[in-house]
Amino acid sequence: MPLILPALAELTDMEAVLHVADGIMLTGSASNVHSDLYGQPIRNPALPLDAARDATTLPLIRAAIKRGIPLLGICRGFQEINVALGGTLHQAVQELPGMMDHRDREDDSLDVQYGPAHPIYLTKGGKFAEMLGNPEEITVNSLHGQGIDQLAPGVTVEAVAHDGLVEAYTVDAAHGFTLAVQWHPEWHITENPDSMKMFLAFGNACREFQARRQERG
């Protein structure tokens, strides 16, 4: 059964959570990962932060990877995994020379905000490309101002946007399924074959992890 974990790190028995978790999905959020966590000052204090979520997810990520628990990071979750493993973020991608604006427009309808925005190009021979049947590119939505600057050690790029921004990666050292994507594949998932393949792979990994855990007792 799904369990929603509240951002209450100091009140949560993480060992108990990890003991019963067959997989962890890190969702998106309107808030940003605090830049203190990757050694930068805040560029725009007006943007929302969530220190409680940071304190919950970053240690959870490291522990989950160590235990081989399947991990899927979406949007903020994509950024959290990179920071948890020692990477850094651009706080305002749209202000960088040669980079496009990856943000959505707040006055658009949700269907427009979460609709197809731009193509991404998959790493040939990569794990993510193989998961989707080896397409050269797919089209994704785009609703983020932050993006990956320096990749964490041991992370492999699985897809990039046409401006070079990392859009998907896997973690080399992970003992189990670990995939992070910058877009929102959960939006109208049943209408998107690529999203369905991604969540099917994650679900299969969770079931396999559960079966191995039950065998161990």
CA dist 83 and 171 (Å) reads: 13
Residue-number span of the structural domain to which 212 is assigned: 9-216
Active site residues: 75, 184, 186
Q: Is 1 within the bounds of a domain?
A: no
Q: Is 2 within the bounds of a domain?
A: no
Q: Is 138 within the bounds of a domain?
A: yes
Torsion of CA 121, 192, 148, 111, to 10 degrees: 120
pLDDT grade, residue 101 (50/70/90)? confident
Q: Is 91 within the bounds of a domain?
A: yes
* Pair type for strands 71-74 and 178-181: parallel
pLDDT grade, residue 106 (50/70/90)? confident
Q: Is the pLDDT of residue 164 over 80?
A: yes
Rounded to two decimals, the pTM is 0.95
* Share of residues in the chain with pLDDT > 70 (%): 100
> What is the number of domains present in the chain?
1
Helix 76-84 to helix 51-67 angle, to the nearest 10 degrees?
A: 70
SS3 164: coil
Q: What is the CATH number of the domain that holds 202?
A: 3.40.50.880
Q: Is 32 within the bounds of a domain?
A: yes
Instruction: Give residue 216's pLDDT.
Output: 84
pLDDT grade, residue 181 (50/70/90)? very high
pLDDT grade, residue 81 (50/70/90)? very high
What mean pLDDT, rounded, does the chain reach? 95
Q: Which residues pair with 122 in a beta bridge?
A: 159
pLDDT grade, residue 61 (50/70/90)? very high
Instruction: Give residue 2's pLDDT.
Output: 83
| Residue spans of alpha helices (H) in 91-192 | 110-113, 127-131
Q: Is 110 within the bounds of a domain?
A: yes
SS3 50: coil
Q: Is 3 within the bounds of a domain?
A: no
Instruction: Give residue 175's pLDDT.
Output: 86
Q: Is 156 within the bounds of a domain?
A: yes
Tokens of 146: 């932050």
Torsion of CA 21, 13, 85, 125, to 10 degrees: 0
* Over residues 1-8, mean pLDDT: 88
Short-list 203, 119, 87, CA closest to 211: 203
Distances (CA, A) of 216 to 33, 174, 175, 212: 36, 20, 16, 6
Q: What sign does the dihedral 188-76-97-159 (CA atoms) show?
A: negative
* Over residues 154-179, mean pLDDT: 96
